[in-house]
Amino acid sequence: MATPIAALVVDSPLGPLTVLSAHGGVAELHFGVAGAALPPGDPHGAGPALRAYFGGALGALAAVPVAPAGTRFQRTVWDHLRALAPGETTTYGALARALGSARRARAVGRASATNPAPLFIPCHRLLGKATHLV
């Protein structure tokens, strides 16, 4: 991941969000105003995408590139999460199996927990286990 090059604060229904961008895409998203010593900017269009997302266009964030720092395994998990459509969910175990190792469910959960760019990487679509609602 490249070093962050710009910071943007976006007002949202969740309060202010700080987006740190790198040359390759969004590197981090922080809930609140983060004290980033970076020049202001939005080189990847994160601001308009977030406003569209909160306006109901749930697929708007998928068009924004991401460049999070992480291990190769973490980035693979995050890529799989980004491939899930809005409203679609999966479980730690199912994603681990999709990655070729059912034994890595806990590692999948840990990768989700360390997601540096929530919303852009939709970790909220990953469940501990499947639940059936009656």
pLDDT per position in the chain (134 positions), as tens?
A: 568 899 999 999 999 999 999 999 999 999 999 887 899 999 999 999 999 999 999 999 999 999 999 999 999 999 999 999 999 999 999 999 999 998 999 999 999 999 999 999 999 999 987 665 54
55 Cβ contact partners less than 8 Å away, ≥ 6 residues apart: none
Q: Tell me, what's the pLDDT at 8?
A: 95
Q: Tell me, what's the pLDDT at 132?
A: 57
Neighbours of 5 (CB within 10 A): 15
Q: Tell me, what's the pLDDT at 133?
A: 53
Q: In this structure, what token pair is assigned to residue 27? A: 């590197």
Q: What is the dihedral of CA 129, 116, 24, 90, to 10 degrees?
A: 10
Q: Are 41 and 7 in contact (CB under 8 A)?
A: yes
At residue 74, what is the residue type?
Answer: Q
- DSSP-derived 3-state class of residue 75: helix
| Residues that are catalytic | 123
Euclidean distance between CA atoms 134 and 132, whole angstroms? 6
Within 56-104, residue ranges assigned H as helices are 72-83, 92-98
